Amino acid sequence: MAITNLEELSGIIELRDNERRWKEDGANTLPLLISDDIAALLSKEEIRRQFVPTEEENNDTVGSLDPQKEGEYKQTDRLIHRYRNRAAFFTTDRCFAYCRHCFRRRLAGHLVGPATEDEIRKAAEYIASRSEIREVLLTGGDLFTLSDSHLDMLLSIFKENCPDVILRLCTRAVAVNPGRFTPALIEIIKKHNHHAPFFLMTQFNHPAELTEKAINAVSMFIDNGIPTFNQSVLLKGVNDNEKTLIELSDRLLMARIKPYYLFQDDPIKGTAHLRVGIERGLEIEKNIRTALSGLGMPQYTADLPDGGGKVILTYSYYKGSVIENGKERYIFETPEGEIRYYPE
């Protein structure tokens, strides 16, 4: 049985003072919900920090609930078209467990429920009318909280209306509720996996989340031809050290998952205590790059406020240029800190 309140939670872990003082105070608070699979991992501090709420959430007065101003890019009830070539559809507000760092905490868990057939159809028709949209993120909430029949209906409508648009299946469920992925569910996905491909977009933030059950759930997609990419969030006390991120990347690759993004945690109100400074983030990015192959290296990325879009945050190895004997040479620093000159 999933945990939905502090009393139930205190039955499985001894609550600390700052956890006991957390208050669910109004419409903008992310509810407490911890799945069985995550409850089994709560003895690990890095998991506890991601799922057990604390009073720091209530006390955070900095930031906003929608720093990217997604609401301003709304085209239909649940469709955001912020980037020219892609759009995001909010399939539901429900998740199997609520992550305390959630960047959609203004939506997640606020009992709006799954998108209706009419909402899905209107979004799909809008996408079909905009040929510049090449990809749609089926997001939320978590897409896989939908029932099999609801998911089947949603995918049917998108595939009928916009068969050439790539659909990204965005989910944390493989980590927090891997038992959701049954052969029957995979059959539904397979049935719709024609024309433009699906891509599975997971969120694993710590190696401990890659349990055998989670890896098996992801394998069901990969074995059926669905490429899988992981989007982690850089979180204080969870993965803000080189050792953990290197291990996470190694384990993702061994599970055939490409580490794709390492997101700077957005300035969302209620999450300041989990945010890592960009200076430290850049230092981590530089250090893990020397230890990981290109395949294992995620892109450290920030989503700029006010709809500014994503930018890659990376140490600059390019140090300028010099003119010697009338010819320009570029100056680079090697990852080991030495200087090399590159001919024009």
Given the residues 44, 60, 77, 82, select the one marked as catalytic: 82
CB of 160 to ligand SF4, least distance (A): 27
Q: Which is nearer to ligand SF4, 207 or 270 (CB)?
A: 270
Question: How much of the chain is helix, strand and coil, in % rounded to 5?
Answer: 35, 20, 45
- State yes or no: is 164 an active-site residue: no
- Six-digit token pair at 88? 């995001």
Q: How far apart are CA 222 and CA 194, in angstroms?
A: 15
Given the residues 48, 66, 78, 95, select the one marked as catalytic: 95
Which residue matches tokens 């590159």? 342
- State yes or no: is 95 an active-site residue: yes
CB of 172 to ligand SF4, least distance (A): 4
* 217 touching ligand SF4, by CB under 6 A: no
Query: Segment contacting ligand SF4 (CB under 6 A): 13-21, 95-103, 220-228, 321-329?
Result: 95-103
CB of 230 to ligand SF4, least distance (A): 13
CB of 112 to ligand SF4, least distance (A): 13
Fill in the DSSP letter of residue 64: B
Binding ligand SF4 (rule: CB under 6 A), the pick from 53, 67, 140, 178 is 140
Q: How far apart are CA 285 and CA 313, in angstroms?
A: 8
- State yes or no: is 130 an active-site residue: no
Given the residues 78, 98, 102, 275, select the one marked as catalytic: 102
Residue with nearest beta carbon to ligand SF4: 102
Q: How far apart are CA 92 and CA 15, in angstroms?
A: 31
Binding ligand SF4 (rule: CB under 6 A), the pick from 48, 78, 104, 192 is 104
- State yes or no: is 121 an active-site residue: no
Across the beta sheet with 79-83, what order do the strands follow?
A: 74-76, 79-83, 86-90, 135-139, 166-171, 198-202, 228-234, 258-264, 299-304, 309-312
* 32 touching ligand SF4, by CB under 6 A: no
Query: Segment contacting ligand SF4 (CB under 6 A): 5-13, 15-23, 99-107, 302-310?
Result: 99-107
- State yes or no: is 83 an active-site residue: yes
- Alpha carbon 36 to chain centroid distance? 21
Supply the DSSP string of 198-259, one letter for each residue: EEEEE---SGGG--HHHHHHHHHHHTTT--EEEEEEE-TTTT-SHHHHHHHHHHHHHTT-EE
Binding ligand SF4 (rule: CB under 6 A), the pick from 141, 259, 281, 296 is 141
Spatial neighbors of 82 by CB under 8 A, at least 6 apart, are 68, 70, 73, 88, 307, 309
Query: Segment contacting ligand SF4 (CB under 6 A): 136-144, 148-156, 284-292, 318-326?
Result: 136-144
195: left (phi over 0), alpha (psi -120 to 50) or beta: left
Q: Pick the closest to residue 233 from 90, 49, 59 (CA basis).
A: 49
* 99 touching ligand SF4, by CB under 6 A: yes
* 108 touching ligand SF4, by CB under 6 A: yes
- State yes or no: is 82 an active-site residue: yes
Q: Which is nearer to ligand SF4, 25 or 338 (CB)?
A: 25
Q: Rule CB under 6 A: which of 168-187 touch ligand SF4?
A: 172
- Alpha carbon 102 to chain centroid distance? 9
The residues assigned a catalytic role are: 82-83, 86, 95, 99, 102, 104, 266, 303, 310
Residues of this chain that bind ligand SF4 (CB under 6 A) = 95, 98-99, 102, 104, 108, 140-142, 172
